[in-house]
Structure 1
Amino acid sequence: MTDASRRQLLARTGALGAGIAFTGTVSALFEGTAAAQPSGRSGYGPLVPDPAGLLDLPAGFRYKVLSREGDQLRSGEGIVPSNHDGMAALPGRRGRTYLVRNHENRVTAKHRVPAIAGITYDPNGLGGCTALELDGRNNVLSERVAIAGTAVNCAGGPTPWHTWLTCEETEDTAGTNGYTKDHGFIFETDPADPRRTGAVPLTAMGRFAHEAIAIDPDHGTVYETEDAFIKPFGLFYRFHPNKPLGGVGSLRAGGALEAMRVPGVPDLSAVQETGTRFEGVEWVPVPDPLARQTPIRLQDFGPKGITHAQKLEGCYWGGSCVYFVSSFAISKDGAAADHFGQVWKYEPRKRRLTLVVVFGPSTDVQLPGESPDNITLAPGGGLMVCEDGEGAQHVFGLDRKGKVYPMARGRQNIGTAEEPAWGEFAGVTFAPDGRTMFVNCYTPGTTFAVTGPWC
Structure 2
Amino acid sequence: MSATRRQILARTGASVAGIAFSGALSELFAGTAAALGHSPTGYGPLVPDPAGLLDLPEGFRYKVLSREGEPLSYGQGLVPGNHDGMTALPGRRGRLHLVRNHENRATARLGVPTVEGLTYDPAAKGGCTTLTLDGRNNVLEQRVGVAGTAVNCAGGPTPWGTWLTCEETEDKAGTNGYTKDHGFIFEVDPNDPHRTGAVPLTAMGRFQHEAIAVDPESGIVYETEDAFQKPFGLFYRFLPEKPLGGTGSLRAGGALEAMRVPGVPDLSVIQETGARFDGVEWVPVPDPQAVQTPIRLQDFGPKGITHAQKLEGCYWGGRAVYFVSSFARTRDGSAATHFGQVWKYEPHRRRLTLVVVFGPDTDIQLPGESPDNICLAPTGGLMVCEDGDGAQHVYGLSRRGKVYAVARNAQNIGTPEAPEWGEFAGVAFAPDGRTMYVNCYTPGTTFAVTGPWC
Using structure 1 for the length normalisation, give the TM-score.
Answer: 0.94
CA contact 1:20–1:362 (8 Å) conserved in 2: no
1:75 is paired with a residue of what secondary structure? helix
1:140 aligns with 2:139: yes
Counterpart of 1:452 in structure 2 is: 451
Counterpart of 1:209 in structure 2 is: 208
Q: Which runs of 5+ in 2 are unaligned?
A: 1-17
2:372 is paired with a residue of what secondary structure? coil
Name the aligned partner's letter for residue 428 of structure 1.
V
C-alpha distance in 1 between matches for 2:39 and 2:281: 42
C-alpha distance in 2 between matches for 1:362 and 1:75: 46
Counterpart of 2:311 in structure 1 is: 312
Counterpart of 1:274 in structure 2 is: 273
Counterpart of 1:291 in structure 2 is: 290
2:20 is paired with a residue of what secondary structure? strand
Counterpart of 1:223 in structure 2 is: 222
1:414 aligns with 2:437: no
Q: CA deviation at 1:40?
A: 9.0
Identity rate of aligned residues, in percent? 81
Query: In 2 relative to 1, CA 41–303 (structure 1 residues): closer, same or farther, beyond 3 Å?
Result: closer
Q: Give the 5 Å matches for 1:331-410.
A: 331-361=330-360, 363=362, 368-410=367-409
1:33 aligns with 2:27: no
Q: Which runs of 5+ in 1 are unaligned?
A: 1-18
C-alpha distance in 1 between matches for 2:19 and 2:290: 37
For residues 380-432 of structure 1, the C-alpha deviation after alignment (integer angstroms, 9 at most, x for no partner) is 01111111133211111111111111101111111112222111111000011
Query: Which region of structure 1 is more displaced relative to structure 2, 200-209 or 226-235?
Result: 226-235
C-alpha distance in 1 between matches for 2:33 and 2:135: 22
Q: CA deviation at 1:364?
A: 7.9
For residues 311-359 of structure 1, the C-alpha deviation after alignment (integer angstroms, 9 at most, x for no partner) is 1001000000000011111112221111111111000001011111112
Q: CA deviation at 1:37?
A: 8.5
C-alpha distance in 2 between matches for 1:297 and 1:263: 17
1:46 aligns with 2:45: yes
CA contact 2:361–2:369 (8 Å) conserved in 1: no
For residues 202-249 of structure 1, the C-alpha deviation after alignment (integer angstroms, 9 at most, x for no partner) is 000000000000000001000000001310000000000000000000
1:186 aligns with 2:180: no
Counterpart of 1:55 in structure 2 is: 54
CA contact 2:39–2:398 (8 Å) conserved in 1: no
Counterpart of 2:117 in structure 1 is: 118
Name the aligned partner's letter for residue 290 of structure 2.
A
C-alpha distance in 1 between matches for 2:29 and 2:209: 25
C-alpha distance in 1 between matches for 2:434 and 2:125: 33
Name the aligned partner's letter for residue 175 of structure 1.
G
Counterpart of 1:427 in structure 2 is: 426
CA contact 1:133–1:142 (8 Å) conserved in 2: yes
Counterpart of 1:9 in structure 2 is: none
Using structure 2 for the length normalisation, give the TM-score.
Answer: 0.94
Query: Which region of structure 1 is more displaced relative to structure 2, 33-42 or 121-130?
Result: 33-42
CA contact 1:36–1:380 (8 Å) conserved in 2: no
C-alpha distance in 2 between matches for 1:363 and 1:27: 26
Two-structure CA RMSD over aligned residues (Å): 1.7
CA contact 1:367–1:404 (8 Å) conserved in 2: no
Query: In 2 relative to 1, CA 313–291 (structure 1 residues): closer, same or farther, beyond 3 Å?
Result: same
C-alpha distance in 1 between matches for 2:287 and 2:38: 51
Counterpart of 1:254 in structure 2 is: 253
* Paired positions, count: 438
C-alpha distance in 2 between matches for 1:359 and 1:59: 27
Counterpart of 1:85 in structure 2 is: 84
Counterpart of 1:196 in structure 2 is: 195
Counterpart of 1:439 in structure 2 is: 438
CA contact 1:20–1:368 (8 Å) conserved in 2: no
C-alpha distance in 2 between matches for 1:365 and 1:21: 13
Counterpart of 1:14 in structure 2 is: none
1:274 is paired with a residue of what secondary structure? coil
Q: CA deviation at 1:121?
A: 0.1
Query: In 2 relative to 1, CA 206–328 (structure 1 residues): closer, same or farther, beyond 3 Å?
Result: same
C-alpha distance in 2 between matches for 1:45 and 1:309: 36
For residues 360-394 of structure 1, the C-alpha deviation after alignment (integer angstroms, 9 at most, x for no partner) is 43548896242310111000011111111332111
